[in-house]
Amino acid sequence: MTVPVRALIDCHALRHNLNRVRETAPQSQVMAVIKADGYGHGIAVVADALAGADAFAVARLDEAVQLRGQDSEHDICLLSGFYLRDHVAPMRQHRIHPVVHCYEQLALLDVTQSAGLAVWIKLDTGMNRLGFPAAELDRVCGRLSQQGILVIGVMSHLANADDPDDGYTETQLARFLAGTRDRALPRSIANSAALLAWPGTRLEWVRPGIMLYGCSPLKNHDEDELQLRPAMTLTSRVIAVKSVQRGQPVGYGSTWRAERDTRVAIVACGYGDGYPRHAPSGTPVWLGGRRAGLVGRVSMDTLAVAVDDDAAIAVGDEVELWGRHVRVTEVAQSAGTISYELLCRVAARVQREVVG
Ligand SMILES: Cc1ncc(COP(=O)(O)O)c(C=O)c1O
């Protein structure tokens, strides 16, 4: 075991979290979002663990093709769609269902052998990212049917569902329901936050991502409350224990100084492993069976942790950077980012281990 930083991927937790989706939205089919290498957990492992989902969604064609190589059964939705003529043949060959969200894509389909392709249509209900105006659904469906392309569903995406007090979700939902009213097509608008906090968004399909990995998608609601289990535990080891005298600084820039004589554990984990450099002093870690806080700046390969006087800490001890005791959402909040980013950024040099 020469690599100190390890990401333990817990397949039991992934399955448990999928069950939480099923319990919350029992009438809906589940499209598990496993883009960005399964939110950094490893797409092959995640797809295997989440085989109980009804379909998978990824963002890039190469991810979809890779996934099809290991999974011949599930529908695979390509959320960002396609933007080149050359994309059409592999999508047909590998039975990938792209999202069609703009007229340029329809033009590409016109000039390629696209008959037989099955697609989702995306409506823009206020995110102003991808999607046709809701009023244009009929026109788009007409064009696709002329080309022999099957429409298997209509989706939209919510901008503010993570805030249960933000009325924009209701506005977007109302636009989506109005825009799809006259069509007997399966609908999907709910991400994790929406399916948990906004029952009206559950519809025929839900598209959870982050909750499958055990992170709360909602402001002011933590994972315990939502009964989500962390799918990734990031650990490393203590490589030195120092005594820092009162008034002395720790790390680059001397951003932290000891207010009193302090024992400091140096941990083999830094931004080169994907730990956020912007995590300030006080960001929690789990060491020696209790919480402790970062001190000073995170370096490329190490970070420093202030240790209680009575804690028995030694070189070689394991540290949990995030996992069951310290949730990745806490670290993310402390560093001014979101759990999604931290999970996706775990570096290649971190050793992945799979349990369950
Ligand atoms: C179109 C789309 N649907 C669903 C999701 C899943 O969202 P979440 O991870 O917040 O559940 C994403 C993720 O960004 C997305 O882009």
Instruction: Tell whether ligand 1 has an atom less than 6 A from the beta carbon of residue 55.
Output: no
What pLDDT is stored for residue 110 in this prediction? 79
Q: Which atom of ligand 1 is nearest to the CA of 217?
A: 10
Distance 163 CA to ligand 1 centre (A): 15
Active-site entry in 83, 103, 242, 252: 252
Q: How confident is the model at residue 113 (pLDDT cuts 50, 70, 90)?
A: confident
pTM exceeding the 0.85 threshold for the entire prediction: yes
Which whole-number Å values give the CA distances from 209 to 58, 62, 93, 171, in the listed order? Answer: 10, 19, 26, 22
Task: Tell me the domains of the chain and their CATH numbers.
Answer: 12-215 (3.20.20.10), 232-355 (2.40.37.10)
The chain-wide mean pLDDT, for the chain, equals 97
pLDDT digits (tens, 9 = 90+) for 8-48: 999 999 999 999 999 999 999 999 999 999 999 999 999 99
Q: How confident is the model at residue 88 (pLDDT cuts 50, 70, 90)?
A: very high
Distance 33 CA to ligand 1 centre (A): 7
Q: Which atom of ligand 1 is nearest to the CA of 340?
A: 9
Question: Is-catalytic flag, 252?
Answer: yes
What pLDDT is stored for residue 21 in this prediction? 98
pLDDT digits (tens, 9 = 90+) for 226-269: 999 999 999 999 999 999 999 999 999 999 999 999 999 999 99
- In this predicted structure, the answer to whether residue 160 has a pLDDT above a threshold of 80 is yes
Instruction: Tell whether ligand 1 has an atom less than 6 A from the beta carbon of residue 33.
Output: yes
Distance 282 CA to ligand 1 centre (A): 30
What pLDDT is stored for residue 114 in this prediction? 87
- In this predicted structure, the answer to whether residue 2 has a pLDDT above a threshold of 90 is no
Name the residue type at position 296: G
Active-site entry in 35, 213, 275, 340: 35
- Element of type H or E holding 237: strand 232-244
The C-alpha angle 140, 144, 147, rounded to 5 degrees, equals: 150
Distance, CA of 145 to CA of 229 (rounded, Å): 43
